[in-house]
A and B are shown apart, each in its own frame.
Chain A
């Protein structure tokens, strides 16, 4: 479903990687590994279509994502390095706002359930700036609970989380793979994801 062919990334004057390619089918997950600065985040941003690759092509269901545009973005869920939550809003408002912008029907009860699941019960109405780093990451990850889009692209999803939360997120990803979804993620921790075929790609 997701194919990357011969990708090349140039940042400034430096070439980060070249000739990177992989193929991912339904129910499969790709672990992206590599030392700091090897271009993991750049590759993820390419897969989302935020940065055009210097060379090569990315295909989704056989068609180049550049041509698919909105159609591809409708099947993509990206969780970046930043949490993409507003410090002034409460976790509940953040979750509802991001669902509304993605034009997903998420009612308040479902959002509250999601927040409870990620361990934020009792914090729904507290502005996010009073939360710790780990709790902010949990707010961002709460989006994944009701996320049904096919391709998840996650940049360091486990960062700042405690072991219980890491397991929870791994469980969410596992459930997503079982539904036939795809996931691409970078991480420095090796976490066993229940179910799903796991591929690895090391950038050097």
Chain B
């Protein structure tokens, strides 16, 4: 079982490395969107500190959305998805592998970039740590929930827009608790409660989403 998940992750990571443009463009999107805010709002440190958690988290959501449509579309087009669906193991496990691989190339780099970008908003050291931590904990949920949307819109014309409409509302809880954790640190309340809830969302998302995704994929393949 673990060998299978590892095989899927290995394959997807290798594919991602051969197509680095996808990863890099999502990263640059994140960097640019976040950097536009200090330029547009002006150099008022108090205001920027207040804006920072929301801006960084919303930008992270949107950057994750960019890579979602391709999560299953390429496999669907070249027939690999049929082979995956016909593998003698549960399709949910294969999807779990793909979700983990997606997080490794989208969520993880976002979380690692975030503290550097947070400096532009004059965030304190502890707030930068919590920002990174909240993104590390929260972004797997984004990949998991996004996978359901990607599977449901597979093969649909104009699927990209539909995917955003479908998935972004489901991201709201993650956004609230993720940005809330940083906010709570800035105001001195402590982020533990928010981070625990974020962790619960991620656990739920990563372990239940693959099965829903697998069901949606089987329908798409019919």
B123 adjacent to chain A (CB < 8 Å):
no
Classify chain A: how many residues form its interface, as a range: 20 to 34
Chain B min CB distance to A136 (Å): 10
B82:A88 contact, CB within 8 angstroms: no
B83:A97 contact, CB within 8 angstroms: no
Closest to A87 in B: B78
Interface pick from A26-34, A72-80, A166-174: A72-80
Chain B min CB distance to A72 (Å): 9
Query: Which of B71-97 touch A at CB < 8 Å?
Result: 77-80, 82-90, 94
A81:B79 contact, CB within 8 angstroms: yes
Enumerate chain A residues within 8 angstroms of B89, measured Cβ to Cβ: 70, 103
B86:A78 contact, CB within 8 angstroms: yes
A86:B78 contact, CB within 8 angstroms: yes
A88:B7 contact, CB within 8 angstroms: no
Enumerate chain A residues within 8 angstroms of B18, measured Cβ to Cβ: 88-89, 127
Which of B3, B11, B88 is packed against the most chain A CB atoms within 10 Å?
A: B88
Among A48, A80, A85, A101, contact of B8 (Cβ-Cβ < 8 Å): A101
Which of B10, B79, B85, B221 is packed against the most chain A CB atoms within 10 Å?
A: B79
A83:B78 contact, CB within 8 angstroms: yes
Report Cα–Cα, A86/B80, bound state, in Å. Answer: 8
Among B4, B14, B82, B87, contact of A80 (Cβ-Cβ < 8 Å): B82
Query: Which of A46-104 touch B at CB < 8 Å?
Result: 48-52, 70-71, 73-74, 76, 78, 80-89, 93, 97-98, 100-103
Chain B min CB distance to A62 (Å): 19
A97:B19 contact, CB within 8 angstroms: no
Known: A89-B14, A89-B15, A93-B14. A103 touches B3 (CB 8 A): yes
Chain A min CB distance to B42 (Å): 45
Enumerate chain A residues within 8 angstroms of B77, measured Cβ to Cβ: 82
Report Cα–Cα, A48/B87, bound state, in Å. Answer: 11
Enumerate chain A residues within 8 angstroms of B88, measured Cβ to Cβ: 70-71, 73-74, 102-103
Enumerate chain A residues within 8 angstroms of B10, measured Cβ to Cβ: 97, 100
B79:A76 contact, CB within 8 angstroms: no
Chain B min CB distance to A97 (Å): 5
A103:B86 contact, CB within 8 angstroms: no
A-B contact pairs, 21 of them (CB 8 A): A50-B82, A50-B85, A50-B86, A50-B222, A52-B222, A73-B87, A76-B86, A82-B77, A82-B78, A83-B79, A87-B78, A89-B15, A97-B7, A100-B10, A100-B11, A101-B11, A101-B83, A102-B87, A103-B88, A103-B89, A127-B18
A interface with B by C-beta (< 8 Å): 48-52, 70-71, 73-74, 76, 78, 80-89, 93, 97-98, 100-103, 127
- The 8 A-B pairs at the shortest CB distance, nearest first, are namely A82-B79, A74-B88, A88-B18, A84-B79, A100-B7, A73-B88, A84-B83, A97-B11
